[in-house]
């Protein structure tokens, strides 16, 4: 998200949403604020051990909706009179891995990792890797791919998510 207003909205909403999630026993996984056609959407992804249910999404949507309507949240100067839709949902079975702790928590699971640039020393020039997540070692992610073990610096990761295993 390159737009500074979108980035500022996401950061401000995160500051409001995080304590609400904690109070409801939920984990804030990700936030998106983007234009979809003529409309703006504020999408909030939540999780909890065992997964979220509709009641979790409803509870956070209600609490966050009220909190965001309060002018003191600081969103009015960022968003102006811009209308938006608030959506709260599960991150799904191919949950994104955003925080360093996610790479440890989901160790042993199949993942897909995309890097900003090819890894140094990788003659293939690839930027996309998949395999079994071995965990977090300092500031690097260990991955067992079909080509063998990989070590990917956290700062090199553009996106990462779990892979559904059917």
Kindly report, residue by residue over 107-126, the tens digit of the pLDDT.
Answer: 999 999 999 999 887 778 89
Same domain, 110 and 57: no
Higher pLDDT, 79 or 32: 32
pLDDT value at 12 more than 60: yes
Section 43-59 average pLDDT: 94
pLDDT value at 58 more than 60: yes
Please give the model's pTM, rounded to 2 decimal places. 0.80
Q: Is 38 helix (H, G, I), strand (E, B) or coil?
A: coil
Q: Is residue 36 part of a domain?
A: yes
State the helix-helix crossing angle for 54-69 and 4-23, rounded to 10 degrees. 120
Percent of the chain with pLDDT over 90: 61
Contact 47, 29 (CB under 8 A): yes
Contact 115, 157 (CB under 8 A): yes
Contact 34, 41 (CB under 8 A): yes
Q: Is residue 94 part of a domain?
A: no
Higher pLDDT, 111 or 85: 111
pLDDT value at 5 more than 90: no
Section 10-35 average pLDDT: 93
Residue 57 CA to residue 4 CA, distance in Å, equals 28
Same domain, 21 and 69: yes
Same domain, 13 and 73: yes
pLDDT value at 95 more than 80: yes
Contact 153, 114 (CB under 8 A): no
Residue 83 confidence (pLDDT): 78
Residue 111 CA to residue 159 CA, distance in Å, equals 11
Q: Is residue 95 part of a domain?
A: no
Same domain, 106 and 84: no
Domain carrying residue 148: 100-162
pLDDT value at 73 more than 80: no
Same domain, 72 and 137: no
Residue 40 confidence (pLDDT): 87
Burial group, residue 112, by CB count within 10 angstroms (0-12, 13-18, 19+): middle
Number of domains forming the structure of the chain: 2
Q: Which of 43, 61, 89 is the last residue of a domain?
A: 89
Q: Which of 89, 119, 147 is the last residue of a domain?
A: 89
Cα first-last separation, the chain? 32
């Amino acid at each position: 998200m390159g737009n500074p207003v979108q980035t500022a909205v996401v950061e401000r909403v995160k500051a409001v949403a995080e304590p609400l999630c904690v109070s409801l026993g939920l984990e804030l996984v990700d936030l998106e604020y983007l234009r979809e056609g003529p409309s703006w959407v504020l999408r909030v992804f939540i999780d909890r051990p065992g997964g979220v249910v509709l009641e979790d999404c409803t509870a956070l949507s209600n609490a966050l909706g009220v909190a965001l309507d309060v002018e003191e949240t600081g969103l009015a100067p960022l968003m102006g009179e811009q209308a938006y839709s608030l959506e709260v949902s599960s991150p799904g079975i191919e949950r994104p891995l955003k925080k360093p702790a996610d790479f440890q928590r989901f160790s042993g699971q199949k993942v897909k990792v995309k890097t900003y640039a090819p890894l140094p020393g990788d003659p293939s020039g690839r930027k996309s890797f998949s395999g079994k997540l071995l965990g977090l070692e300092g500031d690097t992610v260990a991955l067992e791919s079909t080509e063998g073990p990989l070590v990917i610096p956290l700062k090199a990761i553009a996106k990462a998510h779990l892979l559904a295993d059917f």
